[in-house]
Amino acid sequence: MTSKIYQYMIIAFVAIVTLGSCKKKDLGNYDYTEINELSSIADLPEEVNAVYGKPLSVKPVLKFSQDPNFDESKYTYQWYYLGPNGLGGNKLITIATTKDLNITTGIISGSYDAYYAVTDNASGVRYRTKFKLKVVNEINEGWIMMCEVDNGSRVDILSLNSEGTFDVIKDLLETTGSQLKLEGKPKMTYTYNTGLMIGPDAISYGLYLGTDQGTTKVEPNTFKWTNTMQLNYEMFGEIPNGFYADVMQQRGLFISYMIGKGNAYFYNRSQNIYYSAPINYITAEQKGFEVAPFIAGDHEIITNAHAIFYDKTNRRFVKHTGINATCTTIPEPTSDLKKFSFSTGMDLDYMTWVPFNGGEVFSILKDPNSSKKYLARFNSFSNLQSYYDEILGDEIANAEFFAVSPDLGYIFYTVGSKVYEYDMVYKTAKLMLNLDNKKISYLNFYNFKDFNKYKSYNKLMIGTYDPALPSGSDGSLSIYTVPPVNGDLVLDQSYSGFGRVKSLTYRER
């Protein structure tokens, strides 16, 4: 036993000695030369700050041990960062393959681990430097405006800055490098929390832009666009040719209405109900009707949810409730409560819902056989009628735009360059503004979705334009406080230098 162990020890010793001599002999067969090493990088900060949609330039100074004059052509470059892969994970995303970084920042706001890599083409050795990339989005919140420019459409924005004021940014889509190219004249823009939409884009906040050639949403943070964001991807069933939305309106969480091509549609994400068959149909009558482009309803209501539409075909008010697939007619009041018939026999010029008097529908009706206009008011939940009478305001027959003060109930209307306020109690109209050579393109009281954060629902917004100025810079937006007892309008804010505002929405945060 001892003898065998001894033999094994001798064999092992010989093997070690032999291996050692081979190693020593092999080392003598190599010639070692120094490679071209990256000795330093200057002007590449540990933290690079960028603004979304703005130029970003980083010009590092490179020094290599065997290239004192630095020949840029001898190397390849890569700028990249660790970003989201769209599936809940991360992936490496290349920003540029140039020696210097010169880009328009198109990265979603956030803080990222980023890298700058340089490869020596001769040796194949790759050097990598890590830095922190921080991107902020100054175009984060503000008034998004669908504007008319040169008989076409452009999206401009009053962007809220860090000081609490607004910056004018023309052509939001071009500024942010969006792939969306608008065609046609502006019709609408709208924002609301849709809930997670079906389709490949995984968008849960709808920012919609619409022209008379079509309606689409865009990514609400970066404003990027893909073809699958078009509205028809949210619709099931037969879609009319040339379809676009005239109006959209939220009704509670993840719920909305839409009107287009004379049809009304209903969406309820929590119930998996998407825009499909039109709801402008009366089951009891077994027939549909053409709906006017107005939706009167409170977007905050959850229980007893409903909205009022106007049947243009039969000249009457109708109601949609809950998640029903169709509308119903509104029963006539008893004679002691009746101020007008819900089957008015009149044309509808304007309709909205306001919180005035506990929440009411205000409608401006026009006699089809004369120039007379009438105001009809009623509670949309109880159907209780509260007012009906002819509007006796100056120049009311020629009114172009209407708006209703949410808290005071005053009716505002425009004629040419004039803005009137109508008091339905005294049946008088007061000339509030005469804008001389300017023309009016927009009139509204904006209804914020997050009322607790944004309390300025009683501000009158007037969009105007000056025909003497170049198209695209001729538009203005003025925001007024409406005092009680027919007091003069008080100008709060005014902005100019963009297109002619046709529709606007606020990107809330």
3-state secondary structure string across 416-430: CCEEEEEECCCCEEE
The terminus-to-terminus CA distance of the chain in angstroms comes to 85
User: Distance from CA of residue 188 to its chain's centroid?
Assistant: 11
Angle at 300 between CA 298 and CA 306, to 5 degrees: 45
Selection from 317, 332, 395, 406 nearest residue 363 by Cα:
317
pLDDT at site 15: 41
Please tell me the predicted confidence (pLDDT) of residue 19: 40
Query: Which is nearest to 146 in space by CA: 201, 229, 215, 240?
Result: 215
Please give the pLDDT value at position 303: 65
- Other C-beta atoms within 10 Å of 300: how many? 15
The CA distance from 190 to 327, in Å, is 24
Helix (H) or strand (E) segment spanning residue 20 = helix 2-27
Question: Starting at the edge strand that comes first in sequence, how are the strands of the sheet with 316-321 ordered?
Answer: 306-311, 316-321, 328-329
Nearest to 454 by CA among 142, 13, 186: 142
C-alpha 118, offset from chain centre: 40
What does the alpha-carbon distance between residue 183 and residue 473 come to, in Å, rounded to a whole number? Answer: 19
What the chain holds in terms of domains, given with CATH numbers, is 38-136 (2.60.40.10), 142-397 (2.130.10)
Long-range Cβ pairs for the range 205-210 (8 Å, 24+): 207/144, 207/505, 207/507, 208/245, 208/248, 209/146, 209/155, 209/180, 209/182, 210/146, 210/186, 210/244, 210/245, 210/503
CA–CA separation, 231 and 58 (whole Å): 40
pTM of the model: 0.79
pLDDT at 126: 97
pLDDT averages per 10-residue partition of the chain, 509 residues: 39 41 48 87 96 90 96 98 80 97 86 97 96 88 96 96 88 88 98 85 92 96 91 90 95 93 95 94 97 92 86 98 97 97 98 96 98 97 97 96 97 98 97 96 92 81 98 98 95 97 95
Count of alpha carbons within 13 angstroms of residue 130, beta-carbon side: 4
Angle, CA 220 vertex, CA 305 and CA 56 arms, to 5°: 165
Q: Is the dihedral of CA 339, 344, 347, 348 positive or negative?
A: positive
Amino acid at 439: K
What's the rounded Cα separation, in Å, for the pair 353 and 299?
10
What is the reported pLDDT for 343? 98
- What is the 8-class DSSP label of residue 486? T
Query: pLDDT at position 75, please?
Result: 98
> Which residue, among 94, 56, 86, has the nearest Cα to 226 in the 3D structure?
86
